[in-house]
Structure 1
Amino acid sequence: MTTTTAPTLPRLLRPYAGSFAAVVVLQVIGALSGLAPLLAVVEVGRTLLAPGPVDDGRVWTAVVVGASGMFVRLLLTAASSGIGHLLDGRVQLAFRRLLAERLGQVPIGWFSRRRTGELAKVVGEDVGAVHPFIAHTPGELVSAFVVPLVSLGYLFTIDWRLTLITLIPVVLAVALVPLMMTPSRLREQAEFDQGMAEISTSVVEFVQGIAVVKAFGGAGRAHRRFLTAADAFVGTFNQWVRGMAGPAAGMQPALSPPFVLAVVLIGGTVLSTGGSLAPADLLPFLLLGLGLTAPVAALGHGFDEVRAARRAVGRIRDVLGVPSLPEPSHPVAPQGHRMELQDVRFSYDAEHEVLRGIDLVLEPGTVTAIVGPSGSGKSTLVNLLPRFFDPASGSVRLGGVDLRELGSRELYRTVSFVFQDVRLLRASVADNIALAVPRASLDDVIRAARQANIHDRILELPRGFSLDSRA
């Protein structure tokens, strides 16, 4: 197989670096502009509390600056959010196109080793899981650190002692963050993701097989498999919640506005009554002190989203890294239809051979039945004939030519096969019949239906062939 290097997350997102930068810059400027109303309140408070007549001009200047800052903040954060969501749509579309392209190149046999629910989760849920990371996290996470740092610098210029007192809730909360990122917590998170994947897989398999299951009276057994997966997930979820409950319970009060205000008020009162802090200087700490806890809150929420997105991207990369079957640089056309297997060996995991030393000749015009107990390698042997896999050693030849020397287009024009599990595309009956020959005419489609003895049955359907697109 052709080795494929799965693209890293930075490589996947590199084409969108400009849009990411715009999201971050607009979000940061908008967040900094949001400080203007708070600083305006501080300035108005100082002006009103100052001895002597009130300076009306200074008050109105502060009001105008504060209102302007609020307007700029709303404008830029809205623009950042809009660009972020448009960027998210482009990235998700690109991811799904990459997955579709890769899934179209991997060996067909690879799909038989994967459950439908797993692939559905990667293409659907995992691609969707990058939404917070693309549309929200970059700008919000950066601004959550920039704004408190600017506020902290401003507060230090007023009183360094009260600034340190204001940081007490932040220090308490940060001390709890490592408890949420221990190996056991990360392991529980991985088990949580695996449990979700098991539920998705069981649901897809139950829905897809419900007709067959009910026909043989096995609905109860199939339903029990789903319930087993759900029960296992509940246990995993409860364990994860118990592990996170302690640190989360400690962080909640430490970051709560009442606790922050209480710390600032107590510290400010002590300094003010001691005569080392002007009462008006307490106001900026009461207003800006609450924002200093934002980075810790971002650690708890934004970083969770980043980790979830990275896990999802990891599963996407696993699919994108699946090696494809190599195409010959100079395809050779087969001479006839004789199939030969010479000393064929095959293993799925490079350790346990499923087939070893298989020699077989299939003459044109004959019918060969592969018979054997379950697990003896019948399906694997058959899957080598249309090159769903390549043998580890030996050769599979069609018309005297090794299948690895045939181009896939020529191979699938020569070899046809019928799967055990039939899947129809969400398209007309005619489009499904003409799937292998997209340029087939109406007459070609009808001729094929007659040869398959399904023409009359199709005409009995409410929309028949639904040939409007092929008229």
Structure 2
Amino acid sequence: MKTEQARPSAALGLGELLRPVRPRLGTAIGLQAVAAVVAVVPFAAVAELARVLLAVGPVDRGRTWTVAAIAAGALVVWLLLTTVAAALAHHADLDFQLSVRRRLIDRLGRVPLGWFTDRGAGGVGKAVQHDVDAMHHLVAHSLLNLTASAVTPLATLVYLFWVDWRMALVLLIPIVIGVALFIRMMVRLDAGTAAYDEAQQRIVSSVIEFVEGIAVVKMFGQAKRAHRRYTQAADDFATFFIAWISRGYRATAASALVLSPITVLLTVLAGGTALVSAGHLDALDLLPFAIVGLGLAAPLQALDYHGHDMELAGAAAKRVGALLAAPELAVPAEPRQPDSGEGIRVEFSGVGFAYDADRPVLSDIDLVLESGTVTALVGTSGSGKTTLAKLLPRFFDPTAGTVAIGGVDLRDVAPDQLYRLVSFVLQDVQLLNASVRDNIRLADPGADEETVRRAARAAAIDERISSLPRGYDSVVGRDVRFSGGEAQRLSIARAILADTPIVVLDEATAHADPESEAKVQDALSELAAGRTVLVIAHRLASVVGVDRIVVLEHGRMVEQGTHEELLAAGGRYAQMWRLQEQAGLGDDADDRDTHTELGAAKEGR
């Protein structure tokens, strides 16, 4: 069977992300550049108007009105150009955000479910929301502002060099010195960035160590010692940070002082006086430099701010681009339908799995789940139980061997068809910020009210939902917050509504409070009845009545059989059973009554 493997994609940069809106954005930048040139005209017109009015002899009224008209016209043109440029940029930004978010959602909808296990929802949410917002400011504002900040000084200098090149060179003295100081400051700060990151990591680590270990150090009377280590780390960070920032602030202050209007005006007056006295400059020609030249430094100082926006947007684009390059789940070119026959059989054949070449997790797994049976995976932490179970709903694909349902490799089954065959209930339940009804109906969006309620009743959660003021219309997180056990029962209701023939359970009672644990177990018994079940068990007493128990050790199957057979064998399972009995988790009378529901479900079929 030919399967269409997803090709790894290179992470996209900012330029590639902007490709769909590049023509409009380029047009907006071009209009903004023209507007930046036009913006100099009114100021130059004021200087020229002053020269006309202060000239010796009668005032040339025609020339006066012409200059005034040019200034007014330039203002109108500038307003029109900037308005159109801003409108184009914002329009491009809206399409850009829509395009990126759609691409993100589309991509994330096609990656393996296991991809999300190594990434918190916060990181994905940050990329979809905050990182796209960071690029929004760049597209809608910063690029235009950066263009204006770069073009306006250039246009001003061209005009001033046309008036008098010698005076323009005098004006450049504080500009060049200020820019050089600014560049020096940036180089110094960049050189210390790595050290700053390391210092920040040390203080964060010390805070975490102090907070997480406070109970232990207080127990042994070492709170003062631990606090001293924390305060020392904080003091070291503060000393480094103050010294690092002080160097930057001194350079920043010096640059701002040199580029300030007062410094520029003093330079213009001093240089102009010398040139006028020497007869190299007409006194009226000094006016453009005093009027226009003062505004030359401000756009240059703004370049840093807009450059910082570019840096933030570039970093955000890298994170978004990395998500857009996430590996997709392989999709079969010609999907096959598993043979249900009298039931669906699951078979693991020579299965191996490794997250990378140096991290093998599973090796040589040969396991058959007969239709309608309950199989439990047990073993110590890190033995590979969860990884093996997650291969069945295709959170990952095995790196060796095959996992087949009804004789068909999972990689040859269409994803939508697979999730009509397999459902799962995990330890950590994720509830959406939506109504309780919609949370249950995720398994079947078209389910009617009675079907949803029937599933909730089977999961022993209907009574709790009905007691809410808004009942099934209650919004999770706003109208109601469910306990761990209640959330598990909602998750079980989803699985019951999905009505798949195969169910994967990951110790669904792990986060349930004692009061609701029995209800969760009753719901699990209802869910397991008549289905092929693969359950991850941490408490052995919870699976004593299942059809088969498989013991994993270091990613390999070391034992399998019923509870009685494994105890009689006296191997690894028997040793684990004795340890749990000693820890109070064994098969005492109450525990037996509470934790054999899956076995009871099997017997009741």
The 3 A distance-change label for structure 1 pair 154 and 184 is closer
- Asked if the contact 2:149/2:303 (under 8 Å) is kept, the reply is no
Residue 297 of structure 1 corresponds to 301
Q: Does 1:451 align with 2:458?
A: yes
Q: Does 1:257 align with 2:258?
A: no
- Asked if the contact 1:189/1:240 (under 8 Å) is kept, the reply is no
**Deviation larger for 110-119 or 411-420:** 110-119
CA deviation string 1:296-317 (max 9, x = no partner): 3243122111111001100101
The 3 A distance-change label for structure 1 pair 358 and 445 is same
Q: Does 1:317 align with 2:317?
A: no
Corresponding letter in the other structure for 1:34: A
CA deviation string 1:217-240 (max 9, x = no partner): xxxxxxx9xx99xx89x8697687
The 3 A distance-change label for structure 1 pair 260 and 313 is same
Between Structure 1 and Structure 2, the one with more strand by share is 2
- Asked if the contact 2:339/2:407 (under 8 Å) is kept, the reply is yes
CA deviation string 1:397-436 (max 9, x = no partner): 1122111111101111001101211122222222222212
- Asked if the contact 2:189/2:248 (under 8 Å) is kept, the reply is no
The 3 A distance-change label for structure 1 pair 275 and 87 is same
- Asked if the contact 2:188/2:248 (under 8 Å) is kept, the reply is no
Q: Distance in 2 between matches of 1:97 and 1:191?
A: 36
- Asked if the contact 1:165/1:267 (under 8 Å) is kept, the reply is yes
Residue 435 of structure 1 corresponds to 442
Residue 120 of structure 1 corresponds to 125
Tell me how far 1:396 sits from its aligned partner.
1.3
Tell me how far 1:114 sits from its aligned partner.
0.8
**Deviation larger for 97-106 or 437-446:** 437-446
Corresponding letter in the other structure for 1:102: R
Q: Distance in 2 between matches of 1:191 and 1:315?
A: 22
Residue 468 of structure 2 corresponds to 461
Q: Does 1:426 align with 2:433?
A: yes
Residue 47 of structure 1 corresponds to 52
Q: 2:158 aligns with which of 131, 142, 153?
A: 153
Q: Distance in 1 between matches of 2:315 and 2:76?
A: 38
Q: Which has the higher contact order (CA 8 A, sep 6+)?
A: 1
- Asked if the contact 2:31/2:85 (under 8 Å) is kept, the reply is yes
Q: Does 1:36 align with 2:14?
A: no
The 3 A distance-change label for structure 1 pair 133 and 414 is same
Q: Distance in 2 between matches of 1:245 and 1:120?
A: 35
Superposition pairs of residues 347-358 of structure 1, within 5 angstroms: 347-358=354-365
Q: Does 1:371 align with 2:381?
A: no
Q: Distance in 1 between matches of 2:440 and 2:382?
A: 33
Residue 94 of structure 1 corresponds to 99
**Deviation larger for 439-448 or 324-333:** 439-448
Residue 422 of structure 2 corresponds to 415
Name the SS of the counterpart of 1:130 in structure 2: helix
**Deviation larger for 419-428 or 408-417:** 419-428
- Asked if the contact 2:48/2:288 (under 8 Å) is kept, the reply is no
Report the identity percentage. 45
Q: 2:193 aligns with which of 179, 188, 191?
A: 188
CA deviation string 1:409-467 (max 9, x = no partner): 11110011012111222222222222122222233323322332323332222222239
Name the SS of the counterpart of 1:341 in structure 2: strand
Q: Distance in 1 between matches of 2:434 and 2:200?
A: 34
Q: 2:67 aligns with which of 62, 70, 75?
A: 62
Q: 2:147 aligns with which of 142, 167, 173?
A: 142
Q: Can you give the 5+ residue segments of structure 1 that lack an aligned partner in the other structure?
A: 203-223
Tell me how far 1:242 sits from its aligned partner.
4.6
Corresponding letter in the other structure for 1:351: D
Tell me how far 1:325 sits from its aligned partner.
1.0
**Deviation larger for 69-78 or 237-246:** 237-246
Corresponding letter in the other structure for 1:259: T
Q: Distance in 1 between matches of 2:199 and 2:99?
A: 25
Tell me how far 1:46 sits from its aligned partner.
0.8
Tell me how far 1:395 sits from its aligned partner.
1.2
Q: 1:12 aligns with which of 9, 14, 17?
A: 17
Q: Distance in 2 between matches of 1:101 and 1:51?
A: 73
Residue 215 of structure 1 corresponds to none
Tell me how far 1:17 sits from its aligned partner.
2.1
CA deviation string 1:158-191 (max 9, x = no partner): 2211111111122113323543554971772897
Q: Distance in 2 between matches of 1:155 and 1:192?
A: 45
When normalised by structure 1's length, the TM-score is 0.84
- Asked if the contact 1:25/1:139 (under 8 Å) is kept, the reply is no
Q: Does 1:2 align with 2:21?
A: no
Q: Distance in 2 between matches of 1:180 and 1:364?
A: 71
Superposition pairs of residues 189-204 of structure 1, within 5 angstroms: none
Q: Can you give the 5+ residue segments of structure 2 that lack an aligned partner in the other structure?
A: 208-226, 475-605
Q: Distance in 2 between matches of 1:90 and 1:442?
A: 38
Residue 590 of structure 2 corresponds to none
Corresponding letter in the other structure for 2:448: S
Q: 1:26 aligns with which of 19, 31, 39?
A: 31
Q: Distance in 2 between matches of 1:83 and 1:60?
A: 34
Corresponding letter in the other structure for 1:273: S
The 3 A distance-change label for structure 1 pair 315 and 180 is farther
Q: Distance in 2 between matches of 1:126 and 1:189?
A: 23
The 3 A distance-change label for structure 1 pair 330 and 190 is farther
Q: Distance in 1 between matches of 2:305 and 2:399?
A: 48
Higher Cα Rg: structure 1 or 2? 2
The 3 A distance-change label for structure 1 pair 180 and 85 is farther
Corresponding letter in the other structure for 1:140: N
Q: Does 1:327 align with 2:331?
A: yes
Superposition pairs of residues 255-294 of structure 1, within 5 angstroms: 255-294=259-298
- Asked if the contact 2:261/2:295 (under 8 Å) is kept, the reply is no
Residue 208 of structure 1 corresponds to none
Between Structure 1 and Structure 2, the one with more helix by share is 1
**Deviation larger for 284-293 or 44-53:** 284-293
The 3 A distance-change label for structure 1 pair 101 and 244 is farther
**Deviation larger for 109-118 or 13-22:** 13-22
